[in-house]
Amino acid sequence: MKNTYIPLLVLLVLAVITAGATIMNADADEKILIDNGELESENLPAVDGGNNDKLQPLNTIANIIGIETWDSTTVLLLDQDESDIGEGYPCDIYLKIGQETTIKDSNGNELTIEDLDNGTRIEAYYGPATTRSLPAQSVAISIVVLDEDEKPGILQPVKTLGTIIGTEKWTSSTMVLLDEDEVEIGEGYPCDIYLSIGDQTTIEDENGNKLSVEDLTKGTRVEAYYGPMVTASLPPQSGAVSIVVLSE
């Protein structure tokens, strides 16, 4: 009778080993940072859209609460002023310091990674591509070390291009479900981001003609400005500043 249990024990051991390998791979994958190579450090967020069709980097003011090394890459752990991921997480966002990342003081003098330490207050431009993990991960384009008494610049809205895949009514707000061109939240979610249409949201066509929320139908291509504050939920949620309906 004992011999009949040996194959079962072998299968059980193999299952445990396989599960452990899967978990280890998942942890390794979670630290893969996005760098699409399309952004340069001198590109700062623009609200008017201009002639630049590239998605603009995100801007944040934060304190460095940790510095780690992942596979020879320096990563900053940031406590953001305007974003609180909640209890139980090591930071609000991980920012990778790459070879193209510029580090300067508020007067434009070049600094190095050695000038950054726990407690250093910074203004950072990053992304715009970020992971949908908690905490989010992204690539730093530029870091500006702020003086203790220095007031940071005004955070700018985030620009995105995408296709509306639906709208929903939430209490007094209309939510646009957007499928973003440069973001893929993954399978199983209703959209890449929810954008709340408020009284201050402007809706126009490419010629500046005013439109209404009723013109934001499924399949409509849009250029949207939102935030800059975004919830840490999946999908994230943010307030739409302006939406431009694009021609087909």
Q: Are strands 193-197 and 237-245 parallel, antiparallel or unpaired?
A: parallel
Domains of the chain in start order, with CATH, are 58-145 (2.40.50.140), 158-245 (2.40.50.140)
Q: How far apart are CA 163 and CA 67, in angstroms?
A: 37
3-state SS, residue 204: strand
Residue 139 near residue 75 (C-beta atoms within 8 A): no
- Report pLDDT for 134: 86
* Predicted TM-score (pTM) above 0.85: no
Q: Give the mean pLDDT of 186-211.
A: 90
Section 115-138 average pLDDT: 88
- d(CA 75, CA 212) in angstroms, rounded, equals 43
Q: Tokens representing 62? A: 């934060």
Assign 54 a pLDDT band (cuts: 50, 70, 90).
low
